[in-house]
Structure 1
Amino acid sequence: MTRSNRVPDGYKASGVDIAEADAGLRNIIARVTATWPKTGFGAVQLPIGYFANVVDIGGTGLALCTDGVGSKAIVAQMTGKYDTVGIDCVAMNVNDLLCVGAKPVSMVDYIAIDRADAAVLDGIAIGLAEGARQAGVSISGGEISQLPDMVKGFDLVGTAIGTVALDRILVGRDIVPGDRVIGIASNGIHSNGFTLARRAFFERARVSVDHVFAELGHPLGEELLRPTYIYVPEILEILDKIASVKALIHITGDGFLNLPRVAAEIGFIVDDLPAPPPIFDLIEEHAGVERAEMYEVYNMGIGFCVILAEHDADSALAILKRQGRDARVIGYAVADRTKSVYLPQQRLIGTGKRFRPE
């Protein structure tokens, strides 16, 4: 595809304006942080911006986060298959809890739907239960709201809690140059970037969910609905057995630009990435976006990262292999006050929310 066919900022053109959302978020943060107790029971331990937060509950750290499946729900509607998006809802939450060093415990869900459909709700519940089983958590409650005037189809969101010792909260404060970044494989595009993916396939390429691309070998809808991996068992084992873990990073929206969401003034050179699964090349081709934007939006085949001391990398990889995960050292930390991410294989440098050519 020629450069003239490329769409500048294709995600924004698809209807998702990240910059405007960030501006709104700044206003929200200013207001909600005014509610925080300064000390004692209920004191909030972290600034907003990490994957989850932690509240002091009488000396115990209660970790909390919330997330949903986004417009992956629309693909579920298009295929008529609802029994996997619940896994995604659990995954997006429990994986975020892991990033502050917490052990996930329980979650609640919120389903907004245009009209109650018992079969659809049962399908969602099947996925929620399977996700909870994989994560070792309970689904302790939830809410169903019928909103025909507001919702077309359904939306699925969860809120999860976990526990972490107050002196063991992970935020990447101790990362030093030379620490290794282990990348753990994703299961496709997981639960981010679906607005752009849907635009690429269903508007620009004008294919259906039943279309079989030769590169995939199976229906497009099946590929898009691959459930987000839940990394709880292997990460909890790593936390239990390896003392030098410095940070845990869930590679979601913003892709590898999630790596600098740590307290240390540190950058990352990510120089040994595996080839992205074919779904990403297909999105890039049919959306008409630059490769830089793909790395801003998608996980590109790596769903979770562990940052730890170099001498413990092999031990962590052995745990991941035993747990059935495909993982490798993909890079390392470097001194960098700009907290940039360098992708030499792709000739990209990322700072803030953007990658640019070298």
Structure 2
Amino acid sequence: MVTYSESGVDIDLEELTVSRLTSRLKGTLRYCDVISGAGHFAALVRMGDVAIAMSTDGVGSKILVAEMMSRYDTVGIDCIAMVVNDILCVGAKPAALVDYLAVEEPDPDVADEIGKGLARGAEIAQVAIIGGETASLPGIIRNLDLAATGIGFVDVDRIITGENVGEGDAVIGLESSGIHSNGLSLARKVFFDELKLSVNDEMPGSAKTVGEELLEPTRIYVDPIMRLLESGVSVHGLAHITGGGFGNLKRLNRDVGYHLDSLPEPQEIFRTIHEAGVDITEMYRVFNMGVGFCAVVSHDDLDDALDVLGDGAHHIGNVTPRKAEVALKTYTGESIKL
């Protein structure tokens, strides 16, 4: 079996590393009015009756696929998506970002291509890119890295913390556009090391090449989720399904669990990765498996929520009393727990 840790990413070690880092930073919270207990995907700072939501993220090793294809016009969309989708999770409307581009050596043509993606992502998310930083770091960076930090705004009394998620609530899943921008280390190991394919080879079961499938931009969920938040539907929780897969739902409220038995069929790319030797539990622990964002709503509001969200939204399961457990039925018919 091929695992994420074998591809160079150890999720458990990452969690420990983050814990060690953040434990040193808790004392700094006294310098502003941080809304504690609400920052599961984005941090929140109170400014009177309004809170500023902040998130930072990058494109990750998807950059390496872009390098292999000499194509950089889509990774900017991923960069925007990874930031704004997290900001949405606390009920905030994304507003502005600053980007950070670190390069081994400046390349105006590559920068122009990255700029195209950033501009397109900002257009979809309806946010302003108000500044940024470009750093030349030979000896530290090989080729380039791209990240961004964004802010959004939400009325304090409309913050979504997940604390209202309760037994019987409905879980709605919004379809992803594919692999998005996480788990690429494992995907690259499967396609390039295990299956011995190149970026120009045809993806099994697809008319696209491997490279095209891997570079498919992360879906930006700003439009449907803002429509949901403004609809009057009782939204109890929002989760961006990225690294950690459906385990991200546990970040909303650890006093409940989730039973997901009606997930949509995943895209062919996930089937290929699984069939190449990645365990099914590892698949749902690492990848979005066709669902890139979840909304937890009152069951009474389920039909209205689905109407607002439109095509690509599915009732995938319900909230259970089993604390901090995500039980789901895989596309292969197996039942697993995360």
Q: 1:343 aligns with which of 315, 328, 337?
A: 328
Q: Does 1:58 align with 2:51?
A: no
The residue type paired with residue 327 of structure 2 is Y
Structure 1: 5+ residue runs without aligned partners? 1-5
Report the counterpart of residue 80 of structure 2 in structure 1. 90
1:221 & 1:49 partners in 2: Cα distance? 35
Q: Which whole-Å CA distance do the structure 2 matches of 1:87 and 1:176 have between them?
A: 34
Q: Measure the CA separation in 2 of the matches of 1:55 and 1:165.
A: 11
Deviation of 1:314 after TM superposition, in Å, equals: 1.3
Question: Structure 1 residue aligned with 2:13, among 10, 14, 20?
Answer: 20
- 1:73 correspondence with 2:63: yes
1:306 aligned partner: 295
Q: Which residue is 2:314 aligned to?
A: 328
The runs of at least 4 aligned residues of structure 1 exceeding 6 Å deviation read none
Corresponding position of 1:158: 148
What residue identity is the alignment partner of 2:185? T
TM-score under structure 2 normalisation? 0.96
> Which amino acid counterpart does residue 11 of structure 2 have in structure 1?
I
Matched, 1:199 2:189: yes
| One of 272, 278, 285 as aligned partner of 1:289 | 278
Q: Deviations over 1:212-232 (max 9, x none)?
A: 034012111111111001110
Mark the CA change 1:250 to 1:331 in structure 2 (over 3 Å): closer, same or farther. same
1:242 positional shift? 2.6
Partner of 1:35: 28
**5 Å matches for 1:171-182?**
171-182=161-172
Amino acid at match of 1:203: D
What SS does the aligned partner of 1:259 have?
A: helix
- Distance across 2 between alignment mates of 1:263 and 1:282: 33
What runs of 5+ residues in structure 2 fail to find an aligned partner? none
Give the aligned partner of residue 147 of structure 1.
137
- Secondary structure in 1 matching 2:94: strand
Report the 3-state secondary structure (helix = DSSP H, G, I; strand = E; otherwise coil) of the residue aligned with 1:50: coil
| Aligned residues of 1:271 and 1:331 also touching (Cα < 8 A) | yes
Structure 1 counterpart SS, 2:251 = coil
Matched residues, number: 336
Per-residue CA shift, 1:178-215, capped at 9, x if unaligned?
Answer: 11001110000000000011111112211110100340
Deviation at 1:264, TM superposition (A): 5.3
Query: 5 Å matches for 1:99-118?
Result: 99-118=89-108
CA distance in 2, matches of 1:255, 1:143: 31
Distance 2:94 2:39 in 1: 19
Asked whether the 8 Å contact 1:173–1:264 carries over to 2, the reply is no
Q: Distance in 1 between matches of 2:23 and 2:51?
A: 23
Distance 1:214 1:70 in 2: 24
C-alpha offsets along residues 116-171 of structure 1, whole Å, 9 cap, x if unaligned? 11111011010000000001100001111111201111111010000011122111
User: Shift of residue 274 of structure 1?
Assistant: 1.4
> What residue identity is the alignment partner of 2:316?
I
Cα distance, 1:48 vs structure 2? 8.1
Distance 1:213 1:347 in 2: 25
Q: Matches of 2:8 and 2:171 in 1, distance apart? A: 33
Normalized against structure 1, the TM-score is what? 0.91
State the Cα distance separating 1:49 from its structure 2 match.
6.2
65-74 or 145-154: bigger deviation: 145-154
Partners of 1:13 and 1:314 in 2: how far apart? 43
* Correspondence for 1:249 among 229, 239, 256: 239
CA contact (8 A) 1:292 1:348 kept: no
* Alpha-carbon distance, 1:60 to partner: 2.0
- SS of 1:109's equivalent in the other structure is strand
Change (3 A) 1:48 1:203: farther
Question: Are 1:277 and 2:267 matched, yes or no?
Answer: yes
Q: Does the C-alpha gap of structure 1 residues 48 and 30 become closer, same or farther in structure 2, counting only changes over 3 Å?
A: farther
1:210 alignment partner AA: N
Give the distance between the partners of 2:245 and 2:306, measured in 1 at CA.
Answer: 22
Once residues 147 and 47 of structure 1 are traced to their aligned partners in structure 2, the CA distance between those partners, rounded to angstroms, is: 37
Percent identity, please.
45
Q: Distance in 2 between matches of 1:142 and 1:216?
A: 37
How far apart are the structure 2 equivalents of 1:56 and 1:171?
A: 14
**Residue 3 of structure 1: aligned partner:** none
User: CA separation in 2, counterparts of 1:189 and 1:314?
Assistant: 28
Q: Is the CA contact (8 Å cut-off) linking 2:170 and 2:296 kept in structure 1?
A: yes
**8 Å CA contact retained: 1:172, 1:264:** no
